Amino acid sequence: MSYSTRMRLRIGIAGDRNPGFEPHPITDAMLAHAAAASGIDIDVQWLPTDQVTEEALQDFAGLWIAPGSPYRSLDGALAAIRLARENRVPLGGACGGFQHVVLEYARNVLGFSDAVHAEYDPPAGSRQILSRLSCSPAGAELPIRLSPGSLAANIYGTTAIVERYYCSFGVNPEYRNRLGDLRISGWDEANEPRIVELPSHPYFLATLFVPRSKPGSPHPLAMGFLQAALQREMVSTGSRGW
């Protein structure tokens, strides 16, 4: 007997959507292109950061943290990241998503309760984990080297890539080597962190750049993200595929 019914995945995007902000429609297209190439049906729902609750995050096969910081609710963005990290929900993020993945991990795993993001006008004396980059890559396409054996390198199938940026904040150099198990797996030519991932998680990976794709040419990271979400959904429903 053959089965023609395909599994449908619910994907949540935590972010304050603005259709006029280029990275947001790029994110929609990236997921759509990857879904089409994978033969997966997806139902994408944007979750404004000031409406993120644990209840709202339930039943998503994967979560993506959108570009576009500062978010309307810092706490909402961090809550989405923490839920995905603690419950092994596949998580991807870009630009502001990268920054807030680092911030959430610093606060809730590394114990830096005073960790802040410089973009939010932090109080004096706080620990600035994310700071303005000395040389902003915003608007540029730049080379990145990937750590051999990392999830990022395995997904791309190479250790040398070129990607486009939209933001001007990143990991404060003072904390570059103090991220614990949150592995830096992508570096630019100046040795600045551009990708972080959590090896103990099925898929927990964020990039300072914004992945871009075209119809028929899906982005590798979006493909990996949806495959991880599909695997989670199949396990949770007891499905063997279609």
> Domain map of the chain by residue range?
8-237
Reply yes or no on whether the pLDDT at 5 is more than 70.
no
Q: Strands 115-117 and 127-132, how do they pair?
A: parallel
Reply yes or no on whether the pLDDT at 79 is more than 60.
yes
Q: Give CATH for domain 8-237.
A: 3.40.50.880
CA distance 93 to 211: 9
DSSP calls for 146-182: E-TTSHHHHHHTSSEEEEE----EEE-GGGTT--TTS
Q: What is the mean pLDDT of residues 86-106?
A: 98
Reply yes or no on whether the pLDDT at 120 is more than 60.
yes
The model's pLDDT over 165-208, given as tens digits with 9 standing for 90+, comes to 999 999 999 999 999 999 999 999 999 999 999 999 999 999 99
Reply yes or no on whether the pLDDT at 138 is more than 70.
yes
Strand partners, 206: 93, 196
pLDDT score at 241 = 46
Sign of the alpha-carbon torsion through 178, 184, 189, 192: negative
pTM of this structure:
0.94
Reply yes or no on whether the pLDDT at 3 is more than 70.
no
CA distance 131 to 186: 18
pLDDT band at 121 (very low <50, low <70, confident <90, very high): confident
Reply yes or no on whether the pLDDT at 242 is more than 70.
no
Average pLDDT, the chain: 94
pLDDT score at 107 = 97
pLDDT score at 239 = 60
For 16, the token pair is: 């304050």
